Structure 1
Amino acid sequence: MVLALDPVPPIGGHPLATFFVQIGVLLLLATLLGRLAVRLKLPAIVGELLTGIVLGPSLLGPTLPQLSGWLFPKAAEQAHLLDAFGQIGVVLLVAVTGLQLDTRLVRRRAATAARVSLPGFLIPLALGIGAGCLLPATLLMKGSDRTVFAAFLGITMCVSAIPVIAKTLMDLGLLHRNVGQLILISGTVDDVLGWVGLSVVTAMATTGLHAAGLALTVGCLLLFVAAALLIGRPLVRRVMRSTVKSGEPGLTLSASVVVVVLFSATTHALGFEAVFGALVAGILIRGGGKDVLTRLAPLRTFVMAVLAPVFFATAGLRMDLTALSDPTVLGTAVVLLLIAIAGKFAGAFIGAWSSGLSRWEAVALGAGMNARGVVEVVVAMVGLRLGVLSTAMYTVVVLIAVVTSLMGPPILRGAMGRLEVTADEQLRRAELDSTLGGDGREPVEQAPA
């Protein structure tokens, strides 16, 4: 009688060797191009995405097809290996983003942040859904539901990117400014709403579009959030603090990764996107205190220096810029880019203006909130994996993420240069200098009247 199944042979030979070569080449080129982008005053994500464009069907494929076929063979098991590595990277990247969200600051400025962020979320969402309903059928995946596609496109239009926003504020020396703080808080609200919306649309794409199913999806989402707050928060806090008392830094890191993976698995099992669980896990882990965050510094370094560049390089691999040679695709890219910029900027500007902020403060908020960067790339990857986005539409969405991230810094610098530095802001900058070693570069000088 056989009591156990025959052991599954481990992967080896050519597939494993190819996988190692892929990771090495992607990380090497992504690091080099990312550093080059930083030297050119661009976000590192631009160079990392460019890695995939260079090595993918946009450049290497048509110019050196044999080398492309050897480096990235069209075999399912090979693609799954690389995708699995990228999924680990994006889950930990989103968790690190959650670690940076200051929930106390959100609660303190919640009313103003809501007035700014909600129009900046709802207006581009509505415009994106409307555009999705009107786009030519040739841009949709065969057999896909237009309603689900339109809802997904709406989500891509309304998200903001906390990592890009925070990095931009630090680079410009604006983290201590009142408007800088408000941009970060409002972006946090938009970020959370975006992940919730992505989870709902993911469930729509996987379980179908019907009232009962949608009600069940929303109910499961609310149940998960309630369980995370009532049960998960005290439990995770206790676990994290106990690891700090142990005196072993590695134990805190291991426990954090376990929490992130389990939360990601839970939301995935519920039919939502795994990254939503990772975001919640990161927020809860942050509740463990400053000692926990200090011990997790090596994790953040590894994620930002290794896992994230490889993930964005693999995201670039799926872009096919040759699709823009099609006038329909190119026209769609231009229209959606204008919708994305106008919708997010107008929404944030209206919200800021209605809250009593000045014109230049409203301009600064619109410029800061317009950056989509990391989050939109992650959303686009989800849409491609679920079969909601075609390669052409995926390329368009990622281009929007890159262009909007590049627009923010110069507009933000010009707007903030027209705002006087208050005494509170000077005090906050001194506190940042003493506790965090400063918030970035020299502050933006005030422009002449």
Structure 2
Amino acid sequence: MLAVQPVSTIAAHQLLVFLLQVGSLLLLAFVLGRLATRCGLPAIVGELCAGVLMGPSVLEQVAPGFSGWLLPRDPGQFHLLDATGQIGVLLLVTITGAHMDLSLVRRRGSTAVRISVAGIAVPLVLGVALGFLLPTSLVLGERPVFALFLGIAMGVSAIPVIAKTLMDLRLLHRNVGQLTLCAVMFDDIVGWLLLSMVSAMATTGFRAGDLAFSVGWLIVVVISAVLLRPVVAAGLRTAARAPGNGPTVTVVVVLALLASAATQAMGLEAVFGAFVAGVVIRACGALDQEALAPLQTFVVAVLAPVFFATAGLRMDLTALADPVVLLTGLGVLAAAVFGKFAGAYLGARLSRLGHWEGLALGAGMNARGVIEVIIAMVGLRLGVLGTEMYTIIILVAIVTSLMAPPILRATMSKVEQTSEEDLRARAFGIDGQRTAGA
């Protein structure tokens, strides 16, 4: 009889360091995230800062010995932390997709599409053009792939940040708030599609045949999502009949991970599969949103902060001391802000909306937050972005998210509330409260 070799386990010291890494990052992310929300900022700002403080920007400068012990350069050690964050972001994207109101997109129709197309096309074109103009020292791999990736990063918006901002400012019932959400939903769908295509190009190179192959896989994913919808609905209904929320949470997590694995195997991005899984779950109409509450709480409170803190670890703010990097960062930020405002404003004016409504839409869609952080992490993992460009893109995500609330307040104060919005306000339970634009 052949002797069976025992499966090796994680080394004791490696496990100790991993547990200390996760515990320290989560604690600091929680504290700084709460501090950020108390200051009226998105929690993601504090969570990213947790990683910045523990990364090469601060801790490595102040206590290099301790930093080298807690966050060693050993790839295997860091991959453990990375894997934890990746599970978190896949589930976060799935939950985002499961909360998309597709009927809202259908109701707002052509207006939302015009605003969305212009809102993503203008910054996308500016980003691609900028990608071809940046210094060679900041470009990794093939420049066309890098330029396309930069364009996608500048063209996306972030549903979670925008939705939270609109709720905080009591603007969700306003027409501008509804249109902003509709346009951003469409933006996100286009953004994930483009990201999957560019990721495939980064892996196989910039070749027309491979690009066509990636497009073919995208079509397969969409068709599969439609065909498998009844199966997903049946699985969710069966889980819902079981006592408690556990079975439903398990089914959702299994669907998210298998869909992510499928798109990853196709050469597309795993996050695209997670997003499609969330949209299919929502489209089934067989899921009680309250059943997702336990999963959402764990992901938002534990896994997502670890992911964002890990993202902050990879930022190196000392790189901004280089004048070339600093000027590039200012240029990318200016192009990102101008492109999103110009595109959204153009789409709004073509839809016969007013000047202030156009500016308000630009302010809302300019917030990139979570989505741009995820895209930046994908770019770093694929070798499309170096540390300098990665740091720049993360800073753009933070700055644009911070810009949204004050500009929305200022612009919406110029837009008179309609009777339709009054009715919607009462339906949303905010009747009689002062909104940011009233």
TM-score by length of 2: 0.97
- Tell me, yes or no, if structure 1 residue 406 matches structure 2 residue 398: no
SS in 2 for 1:9: coil
Aligned length: 438
**8 Å contact kept, 1:158–1:344:** yes
Structure 1: unaligned runs, 5 residues or longer: none
Look up the match of 2:195: 198
* Letter matched to residue 365 of structure 1: L
Look up the match of 2:149: 152
SS in 2 for 1:109: helix
SS in 2 for 1:193: helix
SS in 1 for 2:428: helix
Cα deviation for residue 92 of structure 1 reads: 0.6
**8 Å contact kept, 2:98–2:282:** yes
Q: Deviations over 1:82-106 (max 9, x none)?
A: 0100100110111111122101111
- 2: CA distance between counterparts of 1:110 and 1:264? 30
- Pairing of 1:35-434 with structure 2 (within 5 A): 35-141=34-140, 144-229=141-226, 231-289=227-285, 291-433=287-429
Structure 2: unaligned runs, 5 residues or longer: none
Cα deviation for residue 287 of structure 1 reads: 3.1
**8 Å contact kept, 1:60–1:68:** yes
- 1: CA distance between counterparts of 2:321 and 2:437? 43
Give the 4+ runs in structure 1 shifted more than 2 A. 287-292
TM-score by length of 1: 0.95
Look up the match of 2:435: 443
SS in 2 for 1:287: helix
SS in 2 for 1:173: coil
* Letter matched to residue 135 of structure 2: P
**8 Å contact kept, 1:119–1:348:** yes
Q: Deviations over 1:321-340 (max 9, x none)?
A: 00000000000000000000
- 1: CA distance between counterparts of 2:283 and 2:151? 32
**8 Å contact kept, 1:117–1:186:** yes
**8 Å contact kept, 1:120–1:348:** yes
Cα deviation for residue 207 of structure 1 reads: 1.4
* Letter matched to residue 297 of structure 2: T
- 2: CA distance between counterparts of 1:296 and 1:286? 11
- 1: CA distance between counterparts of 2:107 and 2:212? 32
- 1: CA distance between counterparts of 2:159 and 2:90? 15
* Letter matched to residue 117 of structure 2: L
- 2: CA distance between counterparts of 1:90 and 1:153? 21
**8 Å contact kept, 2:44–2:308:** yes
Cα deviation for residue 289 of structure 1 reads: 3.4
- 2: CA distance between counterparts of 1:349 and 1:421? 20
Cα deviation for residue 5 of structure 1 reads: 5.0
Amino-acid identity (%):
57
Cα deviation for residue 7 of structure 1 reads: 2.9
**8 Å contact kept, 1:286–1:292:** no
Q: Deviations over 1:298-322 (max 9, x none)?
A: 1111111111111000000000000
Cα deviation for residue 442 of structure 1 reads: 4.5
- 2: CA distance between counterparts of 1:442 and 1:286? 32
- 2: CA distance between counterparts of 1:442 and 1:380? 38
